[in-house]
Amino acid sequence: MITFSEIETTTKRASKAAGFSWGVAEEIGKSIRSLELFGLPGIINLNKYLKKIKIKHPKKIAKIEKKNKTRDKELCPIYSGVAFLDRCLELEKLKSLKFYKVSYPLLMLPFISRASEMISKKILVQFDKSSFLLNFDKSIFSKDIEKQAPSIAKVVNIEFLENKNSFSEQDWKELYKLSEETFVEESDSLKKSAAGAGLTDND
């Protein structure tokens, strides 16, 4: 089995050969490693995308707004992902945003996943019939994803989710009350055995 280190190194070199700068290629290597680690088809999608752009390299996205389109045929998932990660702290204020006609949209996910960790919020990503919940770059929960994922998404919807507890206040109170049974009142004997107690001052 190919190791994650090999995956990162090879995808980085292949991305550079396809026209990306070394800096962006390094980010791609980390991203594909992340996708494969989460069990998503990163290698398959990157391989197809790099073949697609080998002759004509895509343009960088100049600015990210509420709605993002390009005069070119399609948006690059790599440059879109890098731009999103770079400006995620500002983009969070938009609450949600859209990218239209994104080529191989799965390749955007690891960049958005890292942004989730930076802003400490979960991010929901949806395109076609697939949806992904990105959890602080610790996990990606996916639903209805095909093995390869689409080669182009008409619309990629991104939503910043507010942090909420998955339990009720009553559940928390009951659990906390049970935990109080482990609390021990401070007695004289405990005070004497506390840190620093009993030490002799030789001065």
To which residue do tokens 């906390």 refer? Answer: 176
Q: Is the pTM of this model over 0.85?
A: no
Separation of alpha carbons 173 and 129, rounded Å: 39
Cα 172–178–181 angle (5° rounding)? 145
Which tens digit of pLDDT belongs to each residue from 55-108?
899 999 888 999 998 876 899 999 999 999 999 999 999 999 999 999 999 999
Give residue-wise pLDDT tens across range 119-142: 999 999 999 888 999 999 888 888
